[in-house]
Amino acid sequence: MSFQGKLVYLLVKNRHLFSFRLKPEIWDESTSVPAFRSSAESSSRKMANKLPSGLVVEPFILMGMRAEWLLPSGVGKAPVILYLVGGG
């Protein structure tokens, strides 16, 4: 793993410290999905209009879900492969 990858992993793993909480969130059957959704939407609003210059946002619908392509200006429309690795 690259240094940048390790740094991002460390920041995500310890994100609870940015909220001044010593213990990380625990997800179990008592986790409130509406509270999590509210928190995620609040974080999203804080990032609104803070995208790097030259980035084009193209909203679209994928299987009934809203999604967005974030594209640097000037890129082509060639097919891409999105590979996601699940954790467990």
Query: In this predicted model, what pLDDT tens digit does every residue of 30-71 receive, in sequence order?
Result: 888 898 888 888 877 887 777 788 888 889 999 998 888 888
Please tell me the number of Cα atoms within 13 Å of 45 on its side-chain side.
6
User: Do residues 48 and 60 touch, judged by C-beta distance below 8 A?
Assistant: no
Q: Which two tokens stand for residue 71?
A: 């594209």
**The pTM is what?**
0.40
In the prediction, which pLDDT does 18 show? 82
Question: Above pLDDT 90, what percent of the chain?
Answer: 7
Distances in whole angstroms, Cα of residue 27 to Cα of each of 10, 20, 52: 19, 19, 32
Alpha-carbon gap, residue 63 to 68, rounded angstroms: 13
What's the average model confidence in pLDDT over 73-78?
A: 80
Look-up of token digits 């804080």? 46
Query: In this predicted model, what pLDDT tens digit does every residue of 3-34 receive, in sequence order?
Result: 888 888 888 888 888 888 888 877 788 888 89
